[in-house]
Amino acid sequence: MQAHCLRREGRKIPGKFAEAGVPVFAVNVPAVHRVVAIDGPAASGKSSVARELAKQIGFDYVNSGAMYRAVTWHILQHAISPGDGDAIARLLETSRIDGDLDGDGSRISIDGVDPTAHLRDDRVNDEVSLVSSVPRVREILVAKMRAYASNRDIVMEGRDIGSVVFPKTPYKFYIDALPDVRVRRRIAQGQRDKIAARDQADSSRRGSPLVIAEDAHVIDSSNLTIEGVVGEIIDRLKMKGMNIQLRINE
Ligand code: CDP
């Protein structure tokens, strides 16, 4: 069951009903953890939006792309071909992947090394889509993403968060922008990143491709500021009945 759903962790109660053969379960106080899923193509602005949204509504922020980037860096450090799914799966069986949230997003360390400084290296940009298409990589990281939501409210951004990782969350957004706007944004960040190639690879892979979830609210951010997009998401969350206490001045 998804973390954002009502969780009923049953415990058998001894007593007359149980003795009579009737299965009786105590229902723990339901814990409801909310997940806001934000998906979209490369450089659509979703990281800035997701981070700011999380800050304003007091949720934890998780950048799932950073997790795929960390694993890509680890694989490249071990000189394993990003296209060799079997070798990648073998390496991951013996790698210790630890994840945590540090207030400004998820941090991953692999075998005790934190690769944060390398996540935007050119070689990681070039290979991350290929590594992300390896099923074992996705299995391991999706389990960690779901674990993050087991005890807290989160805003998570990525490619398949609304479609695969948390398909039952009612709070799904897809942020897009015109291709030339996205290319300009990435250049302004000082990065060499072949985003069209990444989008093509991410959209056409067999497992968990980049898709617009059926029930996602689509926002074209081409002519919007970050605040504009965040405002639209907050309005939508309120419309859907989310109880939000804004923390604008913190
Ligand atoms: O560069 P940008 O911030 O747009 O991408 P990212 O969120 O850092 O994601 C980097 C890459 O990780 C993507 O191009 C995908 O190949 C992969 N990814 C994925 O497969 N699934 C996710 N939920 C998130 C990222």
pLDDT tens, 165-209? 999 999 999 999 999 999 998 899 888 888 899 999 999 999 999
CB of residue 51 inside a 6 A radius of ligand 1? no
Return the pLDDT at 103.
Answer: 67
249 alpha carbon to ligand 1 midpoint, in Å?
A: 31
Residue 122 pLDDT exceeds 90:
yes
The CA distance from 137 to 149, in Å, is 19
88 alpha carbon to ligand 1 midpoint, in Å?
A: 18
Tell me: the pLDDT tens digits for 22-68?
444 444 444 469 999 999 999 999 999 999 999 999 999 999 999 99
Return the pLDDT at 32.
Answer: 66
User: What's the average model confidence in pLDDT over 203-217?
Assistant: 93
With 0-12 / 13-18 / 19 or more C-beta atoms within 10 angstroms meaning exposed / middle / buried, residue 163 is buried
The answer to whether 229 and 45 have CB atoms below 8 angstroms apart is yes
128 alpha carbon to ligand 1 midpoint, in Å?
A: 7
CB of residue 61 inside a 6 A radius of ligand 1? no
Sign of CA dihedral 124, 146, 162, 135: positive
How far does CA 160 lie from the centroid of its chain?
8
65 alpha carbon to ligand 1 midpoint, in Å?
A: 4
Name the least confident of 146-150, 180-184, 244-248.
244-248
Tell me: the pLDDT tens digits for 84-116?
999 999 999 999 999 888 766 778 899 999 999
The answer to whether 56 and 235 have CB atoms below 8 angstroms apart is no
The answer to whether 10 and 4 have CB atoms below 8 angstroms apart is no
CB of residue 68 inside a 6 A radius of ligand 1? yes
Domains of the chain: 1-31 (no CATH), 33-239 (3.40.50.300)
Whose CA is closest to atom 9 on ligand 1? 65
202 alpha carbon to ligand 1 midpoint, in Å?
A: 8
Give the position, in ligand 1's atom list, of the atom nearest the Cα of 44. 4
CB of residue 198 inside a 6 A radius of ligand 1? yes
Question: Which residue among 125, 126, 159 is best mutated to probe the pocket of ligand 1, counting the most ligand atoms within 8 A of its Cβ?
Answer: 159
Torsion (CA) 176, 177, 183, 184 in degrees, nearest 10: -140
